[in-house]
Homo-oligomer: A and B are copies of this chain.
Amino acid sequence: MATREKGSADQPTERRTTRKRAARASERAAQKQASDVARRNRELDKVTVKLIQETATEVRSEIHRGKKPDLFFPIRSLGNVSYSQKRGYFEIGKQKKTRTLTVNTVRNFAQTLRMMGLSKNLVESNDFATKRDAYYQSKNWEEAKFDEQPESDTVMDDIEAMFSVQGVSREQLRFLPDESYNGAVAGQLVVLDPDRETGEVEHIDCTRFGSGAYSIPSSVEQISFETEARFILAIETGGVFQRLQSHKFWRTASCILVSMGGVPARACRRFIRKLSDDCKLPVYAFVDCDPYGISNIYRTLKVGSGNAAHLSQFFCVPQARYLGVTPSDIRDYDLPTHPLQDVDVKRAKDALKNDPFFKTHKPWQKAIEDLLRMGVRAEQQALAKWGLNYVIEEYLPRKLAEPEKFLP
């Protein structure tokens, strides 16, 4: 009797204590991870502010010495981009343009310095500005105000490119895109996001969004991750994402689903890159089999885009591999197709002829030539011909059994 009482009283307590201890340990680990990220970011903030100050100080000294100060910006164009398979992304080349302070350039020069000053203020107040915010902020810069947003966008891009050479990203400068959609996430992932003011860490469990999902914020520099997933599946269309999410494909496949919504926004690419880097997870892309899906969506995700190569080192996902839909899937799965339009053919031929990424990878050249020979394209939802959930029950499991066959 005594034993039984003891058992029924103590065992639950013990179990509770063990559970509590485990929860506390996990909480401590999460807090530590978040504070490591916060410390690293504070160090990066110092570097950023220091670089801004040094650049500005140099300009001032030149002026005091009676000289005309210069600023140097990498040229942002496809002609100044290189791709090395080893690095895995588009790199900006060594060509630079020089902006010297003269009577003609004084306004633009002043604007550049004001924009750098805005960045410094943002870092110091832990705030951010979108491109549009920055344009309107300038309306209070008197003579240095911008007349149109494209002007301020160019100055911002130049500053980003200038500092990117020293390893500082746009996010560290606290400049964010204006995009509304940065992608959605569901699956076996906990996002750790510390509060801007208190530092208290939110645990965002991406298995707990019902039929909805986690919407990626404009900047992901402060977040870290906990996951036991096996891979990340980056999906082109909202329709396929919603199907996989509603049927909890992430549970059976032990993975993380990311909805890119077409060409992935920068924050979406940065999120996938950070998640893959931090948690050593492979990234598989699942997009339409057409020149747009291959050479715009997948290529941008993996190696970056030509006219923003200064951002690629931070934003692209060199470890991404192409799961499908492949040209040979069209045959193997007898998919309904549409004929290639002129614009598709042009895009495919451009990729073969001019794109350093496709020129480097033989299997891609073969695949694109194959597609051009067939003269057709297929959407990822074409698999629905065989049943709405064929993609979940047949296609993805078969594909995922042989990741070594994915295109590079």
Contacts and interface: CB of A to CB of B under 8 A. Distances in A.
Contacts of A128: 242, 246
Number of identical monomers bound together in the oligomeric complex = 2
A215 to B, nearest CB: 4
Interface in A160-217: 176, 178-182, 184, 191, 193-196, 202, 204, 208-217
Contacts of A137: 384-385, 388
A158 to B, nearest CB: 21
A42 interface: no
A68 interface: no
A186 to B, nearest CB: 9
Contacts of A386: 140
Given A180-B262, A210-B194, A217-B210, A133 B237 contact: no
A51 interface: no
Interface string A3-16: 00000000000000
Contacts of A213: 214-215, 217
A222 B382 CA distance: 28
A300 interface: no
A128 B244 CA distance: 12
Contacts of A336: 136, 139
A127 interface: yes
A132 interface: yes
A129 interface: yes
A204 B210 contact: yes
A238 interface: yes
Contacts of A211: 193, 196, 217-219, 222-223
A296 interface: no
Contacts of A216: 212
A261 interface: yes
A317 B204 CA distance: 30
B191 A202 contact: no
B209 A214 contact: yes
B191 A133 contact: no
A55 interface: no
Interface string A213-246: 1111111001100000000000001110111011
A242 B129 CA distance: 10
Given A127-B388, A180-B262, A212 B237 contact: no
A248 B196 CA distance: 9
Contacts of A218: 211, 238-239, 242
A298 to B, nearest CB: 16
B239 A212 contact: no
Contacts of A323: none
Nearest to A201: B210
Contacts of A196: 211, 246-248
A368 interface: no
A386 B139 CA distance: 9
Given A127-B389, A202-B210, 17 more contacts: A127-B388, A130-B239, A132-B239, A132-B379, A133-B239, A133-B381, A136-B382, A137-B385, A139-B385, A176-B239, A178-B239, A180-B241, A180-B259, A180-B261, A181-B261, A193-B212, A211-B217
29 contacts: A127-B389, A129-B388, A130-B239, A132-B379, A133-B239, A133-B381, A133-B384, A136-B379, A136-B383, A137-B388, A139-B336, A140-B385, A176-B239, A178-B238, A180-B238, A180-B262, A181-B181, A181-B261, A191-B210, A191-B212, A193-B209, A196-B246, A202-B208, A209-B215, A211-B222, A212-B216, A212-B217, A217-B242, A218-B239
